[in-house]
């Protein structure tokens, strides 16, 4: 019995190994679809559900990556996608989506009062707030923020409001050009004194001890008269400090100048 030469067996083994490697590489190539690529469709601006259906119908996996708030976009709409639209990727690639929050998050109102108008604008942008309108009030602090208002009322720093809210700023317009006599506020209630000051283009300065609408003004600065009895002058935009007390003060009577009978 004669057998095949050894080299024939060796050659046959080598050929079988090569064939096995080729078959394995071809099957791996088919399994991974190495040469199969797709173009990612644009889904930004669409609702999350619509975007997910579109991408999955094209053979992509979808994952919600993040949610942020944008007051100019529709709630739950897609703000960003990665990879971006028109990118060529392999089948089964995961597309990550960033969507818009359904409800605006609450933020703390910053303290804009005392800032310049430009600084207030920058701060509002950083906090995601919008400028609704500006009004001017006569005040020596020209173009400085005197009040910050939300929904028609003054809002304190630290108050919780929705991001994207519109804020009204009251700005100083500078001092008036003409001066006039300081009004006499002693004996008036705080509310009446405030109305009188504002009607004359003046501002309420420091209030001591605390604002009480029903308390009476017992002292003011500047006073209507100087120490030597001359009339004090003031300009629009300036402030008058008030000292309040619970009881109405009694003003000293001015003695009448006696007349001599002829």
In SS3 terms, 131-179 reads as EEEEEEEEEEEECEEEEEEECCEECCCCCEEECCCEEEEEEECECCCCE
> Tokens 């998050």 label which residue?
105
pLDDT at 1: 45
DSSP code of 73? S
In a domain, 122, yes or no: yes
DSSP code of 90? E
The number of folded domains in the chain is: 3
In a domain, 253, yes or no: no
Range of the structural domain that residue 76 is part of: 37-100
Report the CATH number at residue 46: 3.30.10.20
The answer to whether 93 and 62 are in contact (CB under 8 A) is no
Residue 120, CB half-sphere, CA atoms under 13 Å: how many? 26
Same domain, 232 and 189: yes
Distances in whole angstroms, Cα of residue 95 to Cα of each of 43, 79, 107, 161: 10, 13, 31, 34
| C-alpha–C-alpha distance, residues 182 and 236, integer Å | 10
- pTM value is 0.57
| C-alpha–C-alpha distance, residues 207 and 109, integer Å | 25
In a domain, 22, yes or no: no
In a domain, 82, yes or no: yes
pLDDT digit string (tens) for the chain, length 262 residues: 456 677 776 877 788 888 887 777 666 555 555 557 788 999 999 999 999 999 999 889 999 999 999 988 999 999 999 999 988 888 788 999 999 999 999 999 999 999 999 999 999 999 999 999 999 988 888 899 999 999 999 999 999 999 999 999 999 988 877 889 999 999 999 999 999 998 888 999 999 998 999 999 999 999 999 988 899 999 988 999 999 999 999 877 655 545 554 4
Q: Which helix (H) or strand (E) holds 243?
A: strand 239-245
Residue 180 token pair: 């006039």
pLDDT at 254: 54
């Amino acid at each position: 019995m004669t057998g095949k030469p050894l080299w024939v067996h060796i050659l046959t083994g080598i050929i079988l190994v090569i064939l096995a490697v080729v078959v394995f590489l071809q099957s791996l190539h088919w399994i991974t679809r190495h040469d199969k690529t797709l173009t990612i469709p644009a889904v930004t601006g669409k609702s999350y559900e619509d975007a997910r259906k579109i991408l999955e119908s094209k053979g992509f996996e979808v994952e919600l990556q993040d949610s942020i708030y944008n007051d100019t976009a529709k709630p739950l709409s897609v703000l960003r996608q990665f990879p971006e639209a028109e990118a060529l990727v392999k089948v089964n690639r995961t597309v990550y989506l960033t969507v818009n929050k359904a409800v605006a998050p609450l933020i703390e109102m910053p303290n804009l009062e005392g800032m310049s108008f430009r600084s207030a604008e920058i701060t509002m942008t950083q906090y995601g707030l919008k400028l609704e309108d500006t009004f001017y009030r006569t005040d020596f602090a020209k173009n400085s923020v005197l009040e910050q208002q939300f929904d028609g009322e003054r809002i304190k720093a630290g108050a919780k409001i929705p991001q994207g809210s519109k804020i009204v700023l009251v700005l100083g317009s500078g001092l008036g050009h003409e001066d006039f006599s300081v009004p006499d506020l002693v004996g008036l209630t705080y509310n009446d004194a405030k109305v009188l000051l504002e009607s004359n283009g003046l501002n309420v300065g420091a209030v001591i001890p605390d604002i009480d609408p029903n308390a009476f003004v017992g002292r003011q600065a500047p006073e209507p008269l100087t120490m030597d009895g001359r009339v004090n002058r003031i300009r629009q935009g300036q402030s008058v400090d008030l000292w309040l007390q619970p009881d109405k003060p009694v003003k000293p009577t001015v003695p009448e100048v006696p007349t001599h009978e002829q």
